[in-house]
Structure 1
Amino acid sequence: MQHTSTVAPSAPPPAPDSRTFARAFADVRDAWRNRELWGHLGWQDIKQRYRRSLIGPLWITISMGTTALALGLLYSQLFNQQLPTFLPYVTAGFVIWNFILGVVSEGTDVFIANEGLIKHLPAPMTVHVLRMVWRQVLFFVHNLAVYVVVVAIFFPALTKPYTMEGENVVQPGIGWDILLAIPAFALIVVNAVWVALLFGIISTRFRDIPPVIHSFINLIFFMTPIVWHTGVLNKVTNGEGSWRVLIAELNPIYHYVEIVRAPLLGHQQSWHHWVVVGALTLVGWALALVALRNYRARVSYWV
């Protein structure tokens, strides 16, 4: 009798572990290489939003200009501020804030809103984040036109040394330092990517996060020196409220706004704002990469 021996089939090779930092870095790198894709999609988002509008994206500029003018006129009277210097201050701050607001608000829903593409388009997860950030950059460029108009109107008052009401610091006025706004805004854009990555992943898993953020975002606006400045804190307390400046200093949004607003208005550069933003950039990207490393493969199942 002939005996035949059966050999058990060999086990399939183990699947490569997707929870590695190499995969996380590769996702970001591949998304950047696909910039033609997310650049086109971001531009199409704006065209689609204003498809049947007569003046299209100019509605963004009109809305921003109306809001900045109303807030500037109101708070200049409440805080007894000089309009030629205070209105540009409010306008610049509001333009920067609107970009941050858009990134945070849409960043929490970035993966949820792109459910169809995530399930049917084999692309890196970061592509959807870059698409959203690029769209917000385009909005920022449109809103920047309001700042240009306001500065042109009050240009004589902003190009010579001036003092904001309630402050003892003499601001040098707009000069060549205005070019520092370009790297400052680029740094904010870099931060916008990690904010959308981190909060987008968390919000996809825990759907209560977006409503919570949207509930507190208006409170954060009024706690950030946008329609008021830190000199007001000392003025309303007769110079005895210097400790109240911590209300602004402990607010990270204030530092992001200030690194761009200061050169746009010809204010003295406080380099501690750059240090704070730089530290937040490193910590934020570290957290975002950890989230991308651990949960990148699960996002498609959560949406």
Structure 2
Amino acid sequence: MPDSPTDPQGGAQQPDAEHAHALQVEVHEITANSRTFARAFGDLRTGLSQRELWLQLGWQDIKQRYRRSVIGPFWITIATGVQAVAMGLLYSVLLEVELRTFLPHVTVGLIIWTMIQGAIIDGAEVFIKNEGLIKFLPSALSVHVYRLAWRLFLLFVHNILIYVIMLAIFRPSLDWSSLLAIPGLVLIMLNVVWVTMFFGIFATRYRDIQPILNSMTLLLFFMTPIVWTTEGLIARGGEAADRARIVEINPLYHYLEIVRAPMLGNSVALYHWGIVIACTVVGWVLTIVALRNYRARVPYWV
């Protein structure tokens, strides 16, 4: 006689209520034991130590996207360049600004915005799209975040070709202060990681977050001085100048400035760096707390 009850067709029945309850208690204990800051930081460190994995996966993502294409990933550069030229020509006419200064402003802004937008939109799906790897590949959760950050950095490097062409055409006056774009880019990459991790965790649990972020990102694009300039609004005076000051509450404006201004040979006000550093610290604190509390639950949510 079998040890466990069977259904009329001879198959094993589902676990009884006591067994199911015991299983829930076990899962709860595992989750509770993993809710420590040491485990959270350990996940980030382990992910960094597995860099060969996410470096290869990130590069493979780009190769796979443009497989059998003649010029491969440089389609990214062409698409961004065409978009920058089209917007630069259009808005320079609409806003009556000089194309020589406005087109580099739009071009560099779009290059940086592509990275920021990718961190928000793709970051919200980073764990959902990697469901199979999360469930069957024993690796840190942060591996998938580093993979996305690496891919966005590679896209940025491809788009730098547009910046080089722009330098050759418009020849902006650059000096040693232009090297400040490097620490600015490092700060943005640090923010890409925490934004991806933070939104990735909560968008996995609450699937409504992802479409909300899509709409919000589109709105932020037009609220951020990419296809318009704060200098142009201030020059008009009156209410336009007041609107230019309101843009200061948009943190993405400051992220753009710490990289775009040096790349165009302009000086960066110190308060831009202060706001970006403050946002980075606050963002990482919130992300570490989220990673501590919900890291173990992500495999059950995907």
Note whether the superposition's TM-score is higher than 0.5: yes
Matches within 5 A, 1:149-160: 149-155=165-171, 158-159=172-173
Partner of 1:264: 263
With the length of structure 1 as denominator, give the TM-score of the two structures: 0.88
Mapped pair 1:136 → 2:152: yes
Deviation at 1:240, TM superposition (A): 5.3
Matches within 5 A, 1:216-231: 216-231=216-231
- How many matched pairs? 274
Partner of 1:81: 97
Deviation at 1:273, TM superposition (A): 0.7
Partner of 2:77: 61
Cα separation, partners in 2 of 1:230 and 1:292, compared to 1, 3 Å: same
Q: Distance in 2 between matches of 1:132 and 1:202?
A: 17
Structure 1: segments with no counterpart, 5+ residues: 1-11, 160-173
Q: Distance in 1 between matches of 2:156 and 2:240?
A: 35
Contact 2:47 2:141 in 1 (8 A): yes
Please list every run of at least 4 consecutive aligned residues from structure 1 whose deviation after the TM superposition is greater than 6 angstroms.
none
Letter in 2 for 1:216: M
Mapped pair 1:204 → 2:180: no
Deviation at 1:246, TM superposition (A): 3.1
Q: Distance in 1 between matches of 2:186 and 2:38?
A: 25
Contact 2:177 2:267 in 1 (8 A): no
Q: Distance in 2 between matches of 1:147 and 1:105?
A: 24
Q: Percent identity?
A: 57
Structure 2: segments with no counterpart, 5+ residues: 1-25
Contact 1:223 1:247 in 2 (8 A): no
Matches within 5 A, 1:1-303: 17-155=33-171, 158-159=172-173, 174-236=174-236, 238-239=237-238, 241-303=240-302
With the length of structure 2 as denominator, give the TM-score of the two structures: 0.88
Q: Distance in 2 between matches of 1:187 and 1:80?
A: 34
Structure 1 or 2: more helix by fraction: 2
Letter in 2 for 1:99: M
Contact 1:184 1:260 in 2 (8 A): yes
Q: Distance in 2 between matches of 1:295 and 1:240?
A: 46
Partner of 1:164: none
Letter in 2 for 1:227: V
Q: Distance in 2 between matches of 1:40 and 1:177?
A: 34
Q: CA RMSD in A?
A: 1.4
